[in-house]
Amino acid sequence: MAKENAVSKEWDDASESWADFVLEGKDYFREEMNGPAALQMIGNVEGKQVLDLSCGEGYTARILARRGAKVAGVDFSRKMIELARQKEENDKLGISYYVSDAADLREFKSGCFDVVTCFMALMDIERYEETISEVARVLKKNGRFVFSITHPCFEWGVTTSGEPLAEWKYEETAKSTAEKEAFHLEVKNYFGVARCEISWDMKRLAKPFKTTSFHRTLTDYFQALYQNGFLVARLIEPKPTSRGVTKYPSLRKHMKIPHSIVIEAIRK
């Protein structure tokens, strides 16, 4: 529990910088790649009861509410939920927000949601198996769980023990570092579970911060879904939009190698 509290504090500390990052359109991975693919998978939610898991400051929850869903948002960061509630006071979209552990959704009765969404967050939840079990509990029969995560096969970065997961290799012919193009991704460690420290230090952030993520294999995720009565129906490996590639050259490498994966699982 202490580790979970430490992780939620990381997001508390990051909340204002993160909200600025998202609301000001600075998260172009979301705007030009991961977001469109996830929303396509979620599809029509008009009249549906939707739970947005790890909702952060409510960005996706608001989109779904504007599309006609009755939305509840959950996050373990109190400050993120405070920001989401402040926005709700102005927007009045009918979204209910809760500070809650995704692995213990005690606020909700069994079988009360048509759809549960989780946008680019399940890899940040340590107790992912219990979380998937809770999602199964709160979903109606044949309800849909649509979630996106960084693609486990192509995650790069370093674990807290110092082991690199993968490293981007760049062309050596470029005249300057800024002109270098990602050539390929060298995967070093895929199998196993690893705790990773993520440094958010891009110049477009109002303030840099660090968070914790957890590398797992596709087998780990699919086994947890299977054990909790889910049937995987569809998946998408998003590519950046043509506009995104033109406007943000750093997205070009994801025309070759995926950054994320979106999965739809049906509760049987």
Q: Name which residue leads in pLDDT, 211 or 177.
A: 211
- Residue 50 belongs to a domain: yes
- For 184-205, write each residue's pLDDT tens digit: 889 999 998 999 999 999 999 9
Give the domain extent around 123.
Answer: 2-152+216-267
- Residue 137 belongs to a domain: yes
CA–CA separation, 246 and 250 (whole Å)? 10
Length of the chain: 268
Percent of the chain with pLDDT over 70: 94
- Residue 69 belongs to a domain: yes
- pLDDT of residue 245 exceeding 90, the answer is yes
Mean pLDDT of 229-235: 98
- Residue 107 belongs to a domain: yes
Q: Are strands 260-267 and 230-236 parallel, antiparallel or unpaired?
A: antiparallel
Number of domains observed in the structure of the chain = 1
Amino acid at residue number 126: E
Percent of the chain with pLDDT over 90: 85
Mean pLDDT of 233-246: 97
Query: Which of 76, 24, 59, 44 has its CA nearest to residue 202?
Result: 24
- Residue 194 belongs to a domain: no
The count of C-alpha atoms lying within 13 angstroms of the C-alpha of 240, restricted to the half-sphere facing its C-beta, is: 22
In three-state form (DSSP H/G/I as H, E/B as E, the rest C), the secondary structure along the chain is CHHHHHHHHHHHHHHHHHHHHHHCCCCHHHHHHHHHHHHHHHCCCCCCEEEEECCCCCHHHHHHHHCCCEEEEEECCHHHHHHHHHHHHHHCCCCEEEECCCCCCCCCCCCCEEEEEECCCHHHCCCHHHHHHHHHHHEEEEEEEEEEEECHHHCCEEECCCCEEEEEEECCCCCCHHHCCEEEEEECCCCCCEEEEEEECCCCCCCCEEEEEEECCHHHHHHHHHHCCEEEEEEECCCCCHHHHHHCHHHHHHHCCCCEEEEEEEEC
Amino acid at residue number 104: D
- For 42-67, write each residue's pLDDT tens digit: 999 999 999 999 999 999 999 999 99
Torsion of CA 220, 112, 52, 226, to 10 degrees: 10
- Residue 21 belongs to a domain: yes
- Residue 198 belongs to a domain: no
- Residue 172 belongs to a domain: no
Q: Name which residue leads in pLDDT, 136 or 5.
A: 136
List the CATH number of the domain containing 121: 3.40.50.150
- pLDDT of residue 1 exceeding 50, the answer is no
10 Å CB burial of residue 26 (0-12, 13-18, 19+) is: middle
Region of poorest pLDDT, from 42-46, 52-56, 108-112, 167-171:
167-171
- pLDDT of residue 242 exceeding 80, the answer is yes
Q: How many CB atoms lie within 10 A of CB 214?
A: 19
- pLDDT of residue 19 exceeding 50, the answer is yes
